[in-house]
Amino acid sequence: MTEPATLPSFIGQIGRPFLRDRLMHLLLIAAIALSALSPHPFAEYRTWVDWNTITTLAGMLLLTTGIEVSGYLEHLGRTIINRLQQERVLAIFLVSASALLSTMLTNDIALFIVVPLTVSLASTGGLPIGRLVIFEALAVNAGSLLTPIGNPQNILLWQRSHLSFAGFTWQMAPLALAIFLLLLLATWFCFPKQTIHAELKDDPAAYRVGLLRTCGLLYLVFLAMVELGHPSWGLVGVASAAVLFCREIIAKVDWSLILVFILMFIDIRLLTQLHFIQTLAETILHFSQFELFISALLGSQVISNVPATILLVNYSTAYKVIAYGVNVGGFGLAIGSMANIIALRMAPERHLWLRFHLYSFPFLILSALIAWVLLL
């Protein structure tokens, strides 16, 4: 009896992000305009998309959303925060948690967990909530670069490079460790050693340990399937489990993000079909390692690091150089990484954009220097 009433609401939840996602709308308009300038058979568009990357991203979105919906990580965070007595220790905990979560839950999901926790501390007098959010944005960029599932550009580079999960992580570990240590040092100096009394309310009945365990098990199975080269079967298994045991997860996933990445593949391909762009893009084939690194870094500042990755992997197989460049490119301008924009939009203070760049540009410069030294 209740199914007819709940079905429209369920479909509405899934469809709502598609109506609100301005980036998706912009990419769709760009695809239509570029298609008019460089017409191709519609069936050809499908071949331009890296479906293994899209499938892996879809599976990760389902699993990480399930972990977020379980509420357990928020409960754990509130429990720890209530026991901390110093602002500096609190900042180091939130920065470290952001970085750690982003290695396995992707950078945006890490922010959806940590930033609301941080904002809920606003009632604790004297805490610099805006600065904490800025450092959490920097932290997820630093942490997510470590693993092949930490962010979308790494998922694409992992699929293209055919490295194992451990192999990809090992090549990124020196850069991730160096930047994380730099971030901890900055956190130590930017947050004073003053006493705080945080009292966050917690309801143990609000979190679901069973859902967390199920998602954790499926997470391992899904990663194994991706590692074996069968992400589609892994997605089928994860989606089937979600339908059977927790349809709420399917409704809460931001499915418009999948369409955003599909459109990015199509837009970049259509753009490079234009004669003058194609001529410029083909010069990438002859880039030195330094030129490729700088192109990845600066390209991220102009068009964000995911589109920059999609563009560069079409012309170069130096995936480690690209990975270092686009991940470091997540610092600097806010547009360098979608995680920056997500964090700043979630913050209660609307004047954070300028302050963010006061911290992010030094990180861009120092991280770029570290990355280049490690590539030599």
Distances (CA, A) of 191 to 115, 180, 357: 17, 16, 18
Neighbours of 43 (CB within 10 A): 7
pLDDT tens digits, residue range 106-135?
A: 899 899 999 988 988 877 767 889 999 999
DSSP state at residue 71? -
In the prediction, which pLDDT does 3 show? 42
What are the DSSP calls for 113-132, one per residue?
Answer: HHHHHHHGGGGSTT--HHHH
Token digits for 161? 């490079």
**Which residues, in sequence order, are bridge partners of residue 73?**
none
In the prediction, which pLDDT does 326 show? 97
Distances (CA, A) of 174 to 98, 179, 180: 19, 9, 10
More confident position, 357 or 273? 357
Q: Which of 34-38, 256-260, 294-298: highest mean pLDDT?
A: 294-298
pLDDT tens digits, residue range 12-67?
A: 777 787 888 788 899 999 999 999 888 888 888 999 999 999 999 999 999 988 98
pLDDT band at 5, cuts 50/70/90?
Answer: very low
More confident position, 120 or 156? 156
**Which residues, in sequence order, are bridge partners of residue 277?**
none
Give, in degrees to the nearest 5, the angle at Cα 114 between 109 and 119: 130
Cα separation, 251 vs 98, in Å, equals 25
**Under 8 Å CB-to-CB from 78, ≥6 apart: which residues?**
117, 200, 201, 202
Do 253 and 61 meet the contact criterion of CB atoms below 8 Å apart?
yes
Token digits for 6? 């709940």
Do 212 and 70 meet the contact criterion of CB atoms below 8 Å apart?
yes
pLDDT band at 298, cuts 50/70/90?
Answer: very high
In the prediction, which pLDDT does 1 show? 37
% pLDDT > 70, the chain: 97
Position 262 pLDDT exceeds 70:
yes
Distances (CA, A) of 180 to 140, 172, 264, 343, 370: 10, 12, 29, 18, 12
Going by C-alpha positions, the residue among 142, 103, 102, 134 that lies closest to residue 118 is: 134
- One-letter amino acid at 342 equals I
Average pLDDT over residues 275-297: 90
Cα separation, 106 vs 65, in Å, equals 10
* CA-only gyration radius of the chain, Å: 21
pLDDT band at 7, cuts 50/70/90?
Answer: low
More confident position, 208 or 320? 320
In the prediction, which pLDDT does 4 show? 44
Average pLDDT over residues 287-312: 94
Do you know the residue count of the chain? 376
pLDDT band at 203, cuts 50/70/90?
Answer: confident
- One-letter amino acid at 261 equals F
pLDDT tens digits, residue range 331-347?
A: 999 999 989 988 998 88
More confident position, 244 or 356? 356
- Phi and psi (nearest 5°) for 21? -80, 100
Assign 86 to helix, strand or coil.
strand
Going by C-alpha positions, the residue among 223, 139, 224, 258 that lies closest to residue 187 is: 139
**Under 8 Å CB-to-CB from 134, ≥6 apart: which residues?**
343, 352, 355, 356, 359, 360
pLDDT band at 2, cuts 50/70/90?
Answer: very low
Do 375 and 293 meet the contact criterion of CB atoms below 8 Å apart?
yes
In the prediction, which pLDDT does 8 show? 67
Cα separation, 100 vs 177, in Å, equals 12
What are the DSSP calls for 250-296, one per residue?
Answer: HHHS-THHHHHHHHHHHHHHHHHHSHHHHHHHGGGGG--HHHHHHHH
In the prediction, which pLDDT does 218 show? 92
DSSP state at residue 206? G
Give pTM, 2 decimals: 0.89
Position 360 pLDDT exceeds 90:
yes
In the prediction, which pLDDT does 98 show? 96
